Amino acid sequence: MQLSLKKLGSFEGRKGPLLLIIMDGIGVGPQDERNAVYLARTPNIDRLTGSRFYTQLQAHGTAVGLPTDQDMGNSEVGHNALGAGRVFDQGARLVNRAIEKGEIFETDLWKRIVQRGEEGGTIHFLGLLSDGNVHSHIDHLFAFLDRCAETSIKRVRVHALLDGRDVGERTALRYVIPTEKKLKKISKERGLDYAIASGGGRMKVTMDRYNADWSIVKRGWEAHVLGKARPFSSASEAIRVFYEEGPAVTDQYLDAFVVVDGRGNPIGPVLDGDAVICFNFRGDRAIEISRAFSEKDFSEFDRGPLPDILYAGIMEYDGDLHIPPNYLVHPPAIDRTISEYLCSEAVEMFAISETQKFGHVTYFWNGNRSGYIDENLETYIEIPSDKIEFDRAPAMKAPEITKRTIGLLEERSYRFGRLNFANGDMVGHTGVMEAAIVAVETVDRCVGDLLKVTEELGGIAVVTSDHGNADLMFTYDNGGNRKVRTAHSLNPVPFAIFDPGYNREYEMAPVERPGLSNVAATLLNLLGYEKPEDYDPSLIRMAGST
Active site residues: 75
| pTM as predicted | 0.79
**CA-CA distance, 322 to 369, in Å (whole number)?**
10
Burial per residue of 40-49, b for 16 or more beta-carbon CB atoms within 10 angstroms, e otherwise:
bebebbebbb
> According to the 3-state scheme, what is the secondary structure of 21-58?
EEECECCCCCCCCCCHHHHCCCHHHHHHHCCCCEEEEE
- For 410-469, give the DSSP string: HTT--SEEEEEE-HHHHTGGGT-HHHHHHHHHHHHHHHHHHHHHHHHTT-EEEEE-SSBS
Residue type, 494: P
Q: Is 463 exposed, middle or buried (0-12, 13-18, 19+ CB in 10 A)?
A: buried
> According to the 3-state scheme, what is the secondary structure of 263-284?
CCCECCCCCCCCEEEECCCCCC
Query: Cβ distance 328 to 312 under 8 Å?
Result: yes
Element (H, E) at 262: none
For the chain, list the domains and their CATH numbers: 18-44+81-89+333-542 (3.40.720.10), 92-329 (3.40.1450.10)
pLDDT tens track of the chain, all 546 residues? Answer: 689 999 999 999 999 999 999 999 999 999 999 999 999 999 999 999 999 999 999 999 999 998 888 888 989 899 999 999 999 988 888 999 999 999 999 999 999 999 999 999 999 999 999 999 989 999 999 999 999 999 999 999 999 999 999 999 999 999 999 999 999 999 999 999 999 999 999 999 999 987 889 999 999 999 999 999 999 999 999 999 999 999 999 999 999 999 999 999 999 999 999 999 999 998 889 999 999 999 999 999 999 988 899 999 999 887 657 899 999 998 777 999 999 999 999 999 999 999 999 999 999 999 989 899 999 999 999 999 998 999 999 999 999 999 999 999 999 999 999 999 999 999 999 999 999 999 999 999 999 999 999 999 999 999 999 999 999 999 998 888 898 988 899 999 999 999 999 999 999 999 999 999 999 999 999 999 999 999 999 999 998 776
SS3 523: helix
Considering Cα of 275, then 280, then 282, then 283, what sign does the dihedral take? negative
**Within 13 Å, how many C-alpha atoms sit on residue 37's CB side?**
29
Using left for φ > 0, alpha for ψ between -120 and 50, and beta otherwise, residue 407 falls in alpha
Considering Cα of 475, then 479, then 482, then 487, what sign does the dihedral take? negative
Burial per residue of 239-249, b for 16 or more beta-carbon CB atoms within 10 angstroms, e otherwise:
beebbeeeeeb
Query: Cβ distance 468 to 490 under 8 Å?
Result: yes
**CA-CA distance, 386 to 354, in Å (whole number)?**
9
**CA-CA distance, 339 to 269, in Å (whole number)?**
44
- For 360-385, give the DSSP string: IIIIITTTS--S-S-TTTEEEEEEPP
Give the list of residues 6+ apart from residue 198 with CB closer than 8 angstroms, or none.
159, 160, 223, 224, 227, 229, 256, 257, 258, 259, 266, 268
Residue 480 vs residues 446, 470, 473: alpha-carbon distances, Å: 37, 21, 15
Query: Cβ distance 425 to 385 under 8 Å?
Result: no
